């Protein structure tokens, strides 16, 4: 079983849509049996999820503020709502009103929902041009640490390995320091997602490297620092189509690497760690595991 913890379905009603069936055609031959949908549009995401049992959960977006509790309650009524994502610049607001912001995070934790973070660390590399303005800062890092210390029981998921640029070489001291900082907080989990998008040597319109050796120094680092209980699989499809054939080539890269660590580690990476973080429930027989409840929706 493989649960992809990071992909997007966009423009569902338009000819250029990237939808569930487009994804399944690519994903199922690689053994992917379910997915967590990452989409800021909460209502749309839940509508897609409820119509497609391949989706075991939704990670949406609710910005901390006066209406946070009401909005979170509204969305979290649906059992498929499994967390929220905040961008780095939003974390800078923690220091402006810590009581309000951390109170919102406590409300999230009380519902046993995780917080995902994107572009929270300075130096996030790559991605769509429209996203380049969303970069981590000293203030966003301080906000991240404040949340981790104030709400220790809430999982915090850092997407795309923090946005680490990959050049085939070992971690720089700067990124080693960033990862070691995150590793101090046991509730922080790293998505090894969009691996090929991190190829900082790729020229424009060129495919990312498909060599495991190119990515191994980075994978070795996150394995060494975070271990088998704090890493999760994500494809970042269809964004990853800009870098290469991520569903197949990208999947084969991480499959080869984590297979080397043994079956126990492979299963944790592919689905057990995501089960712990998102507490998703199976909706299809292919998503069931020993001791799991019966699927909550017929396939």
Q: What is the dihedral of CA 63, 84, 188, 272, to 10 degrees?
A: 180
- Per-residue pLDDT of the chain (299 residues), as tens digits, is 999 999 887 665 666 567 788 889 989 999 999 999 998 899 999 999 999 999 999 999 999 999 999 999 999 999 999 999 999 889 999 999 999 999 999 999 999 999 999 999 988 876 666 566 677 889 999 999 999 999 999 999 999 999 999 999 999 999 999 999 999 999 999 999 878 888 888 777 778 888 999 999 999 999 999 999 999 999 888 776 665 555 667 888 999 999 999 999 999 999 999 999 999 999 999 999 999 988 875 43
The per-residue DSSP string of 147-183 comes to: HHHH-TTS-EEEGGGGG--B-SSPPPHHHHHHHHHHH
Question: Which among 30, 15, 164 is positioned nearest to 7, based on CA atoms?
Answer: 30
Which residue segment(s) compose the domain that 87 sits in?
A: 64-70+82-281
**185 in a domain, yes or no?**
yes
Q: Which CATH number fits the domain that encloses residue 185?
A: 3.20.20.140
> Is 210 inside a domain boundary?
yes
Is 47 inside a domain boundary? no
Phi and psi at residue 20, to the nearest 5°:
-60, -45
Tell me, yes or no, whether 192 lies in a domain.
yes
What is the pTM (predicted TM-score) of this model?
A: 0.93
Q: Is residue 272 part of a domain?
A: yes
Considering the domain boundaries, does residue 181 fall inside one?
Answer: yes
Structure-token match 């800009």, residue found = 242
Q: Give domain status of residue 219, yes or no.
A: yes
The domain tally of the chain equals 1
- Domain-located, residue 261: yes
């Amino acid at each position: 079983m493989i649960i992809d913890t990071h992909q997007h379905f966009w423009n569902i009603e338009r000819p250029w849509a990237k939808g569930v069936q487009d994804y399944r055609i690519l994903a199922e031959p690689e053994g992917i049996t379910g997915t967590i949908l990452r989409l800021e549009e909460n209502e749309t995401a839940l509508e897609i999820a409820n119509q497609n049992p391949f989706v075991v959960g939704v990670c949406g977006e609710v910005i901390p503020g006066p209406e946070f509790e009401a909005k979170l309650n509204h969305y979290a009524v649906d059992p498929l709502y499994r967390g929220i994502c905040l961008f780095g610049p939003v974390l800078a607001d923690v220091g402006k009103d810590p009581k309000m912001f951390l109170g919102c995070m406590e409300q999230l934790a009380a519902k046993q929902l995780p917080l995902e973070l994107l572009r929270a660390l300075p130096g996030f590399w790559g991605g769509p041009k429209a996203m380049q303005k969303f970069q981590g800062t000293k203030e966003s890092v301080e906000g991240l640490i404040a949340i981790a210390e104030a709400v220790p029981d809430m999982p915090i998921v850092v997407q795309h390995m923090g946005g680490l640029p990959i050049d085939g070489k070992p971690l720089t001291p700067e990124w080693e320091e960033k990862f070691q900082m995150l590793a101090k907080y046991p509730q922080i989990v790293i998505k090894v997602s969009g691996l090929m998008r991190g190829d900082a040597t790729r020229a424009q319109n060129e495919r990312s490297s498909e060599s495991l050796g190119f990515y191994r120094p980075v994978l070795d680092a996150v394995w060494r620092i975070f271990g088998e209980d704090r890493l999760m699989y994500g494809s970042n499809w269809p964004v990853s189509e800009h870098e290469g054939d991520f569903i197949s080539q990208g999947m084969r890269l991480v499959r080869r690497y984590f297979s080397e660590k043994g079956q126990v580690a492979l299963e944790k990476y592919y689905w057990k760690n995501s089960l712990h973080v998102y507490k998703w429930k199976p909706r299809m027989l292919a998503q069931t595991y020993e001791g799991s409840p019966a699927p909550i929706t017929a396939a």
